[in-house]
Amino acid sequence: MQRVHHNLGLQLSGVTKTYASGIKALDEVDLTIGSGMYGLLGPNGAGKSTLMRTLATLQKPDAGTITLDGIDILAEPDQHRQNLGYLPQTIGAYPRISARDLLHRFIWLKGFSSAKERGQEADCLLEKVNLRDVAERPVATYSGGMLRRFGIALALIGAPRLVIVDEPTAGLDPEERNRFHRVLADVANQSIVLLSTHIVEDVENLCRELAIIQNGKIIATGATKDLIAEWQGRLWTKVIAHGDRVPDGSLHLSACPDGTRMVLECKVDPGEGFGPHSPTLEDVYYLALRAADKGVRA
Ligand SMILES: Nc1ncnc2c1ncn2[C@@H]1O[C@H](COP(=O)(O)OP(=O)(O)OP(=O)(O)O)[C@@H](O)[C@H]1O
Ligand SMILES: [Mg+2]
């Protein structure tokens, strides 16, 4: 297969999707995504899953182009699926066959023709997601977290060039979430891993680059570190005791044991008991949403 090497990575240009209901879930999305782990953040209904299903060629955009390593994935979806691993946000019912048997079938579908290789791939994946001890149990008897891990194994079959994981750690206990993060980081050495999550901290810890999407529009992109560093010295915080009035103008509020923690954006020290606040990706997220609401790009 001929590949255009100066075009390595995933490139989206003008990708737009309006559902029959009239909702514009994707609005002229342009993105360039290189190897490694890339984060996608956005509020509920922003268009993350729509974007991911589109990249998995499960649905077609109304307009726009998408290439992976120079190959037009919309024109050649069958070829693209061989290079793709996709973990959907929700997974339907599973048949009453064992995890190992089901995994074998999917591995076979991915083009592994030798039974020996299928067995090795299954063992390796079951080990990775820590399901070896329960591999002979019917998938239908799995707990939510076990199902999630099984889905992750399916997405990693054959070490795909592009791995898309939509809310992958929802329902995983802390130990399994950490295990999964290590697996993903490992996969990202050779592949493009696109991760969507509401756990902003996960993106901060795992992804070198990210995009923030709201109402189908990309409202911020860049290197995680740079996006955070931009706000150094411009954020302030204080705790407002239970029962006291919360002043206007907060960037975001969160509960803490002594009351409400308020974070404020201000070019100079606002006084009034505020102290400096080290910016986090969560702050960047709220700053981007606020800027988009005001009609300016963060
Ligand atoms: N099949 C569909 N038919 C009609 N509208 C849809 C469909 N799927 C999604 N939508 C709408 O498109 C918008 C984007 O939805 P999408 O599921 O892509 O958002 P999301 O960012 O993944 O949200 P969440 O964080 O809740 O998972 C929403 O307004 C949603 O209601
Ligand atoms: Mg979603």
Angle at 69 between CA 222 and CA 77, to 5 degrees: 110
Ligand 1 atom at minimal distance to the Cα of residue 42? 21
pLDDT 10s digits, 57-104: 999 999 999 999 999 999 999 999 989 999 888 777 667 899 999 999
Contact 242, 259 (CB under 8 A): yes
Contact 101, 122 (CB under 8 A): no
Q: What are phi and psi of 297, to 5 degrees?
A: -85, 140
pTM of the model: 0.91
Q: Which ligand is nearest to the CA of 89?
A: 2
Ligand 1 site-directed mutation target among 15, 19, 29, 214, most atoms within 8 Å of CB: 19
Q: Is the CB of 56 under 6 A from ligand 1?
A: no
Confidence band (pLDDT; 50, 70, 90) for 5?
Answer: low
Confidence band (pLDDT; 50, 70, 90) for 296?
Answer: low
Q: Is the CB of 44 under 6 A from ligand 1?
A: yes
Q: Is the CB of 46 under 6 A from ligand 1?
A: yes
Task: Write the CB contacts of 160 (distance below 8 Å, at least 6 apart in sequence).
Answer: 83, 84, 85, 191
User: Which residue's alpha carbon is at the smallest distance from atom 24 of ligand 1?
Assistant: 44
Ligand 1 site-directed mutation target among 49, 62, 196, most atoms within 8 Å of CB: 49
Q: Is the CB of 47 under 6 A from ligand 1?
A: yes
Ligand 1 atom at minimal distance to the Cα of residue 20? 4
The predicted model gives 110-131 an average pLDDT of 94
pLDDT 10s digits, 180-206: 898 889 889 989 999 999 899 999 999
Q: 5-227 — its CATH code?
A: 3.40.50.300
Token output for 174? 């802390």
Domain positions in the chain are 5-227, 228-293
> CA-CA distance, 40 to 218, in Å (whole number)?
10
> CA-CA distance, 238 to 85, in Å (whole number)?
44
Question: Torsion angle, CA of 43/44/49/50, rounded to 10 degrees?
Answer: -90
Confidence band (pLDDT; 50, 70, 90) for 148?
Answer: confident
Which pLDDT score is estimated for 1? 47
pLDDT 10s digits, 152-176: 899 999 999 999 999 888 888 899 8
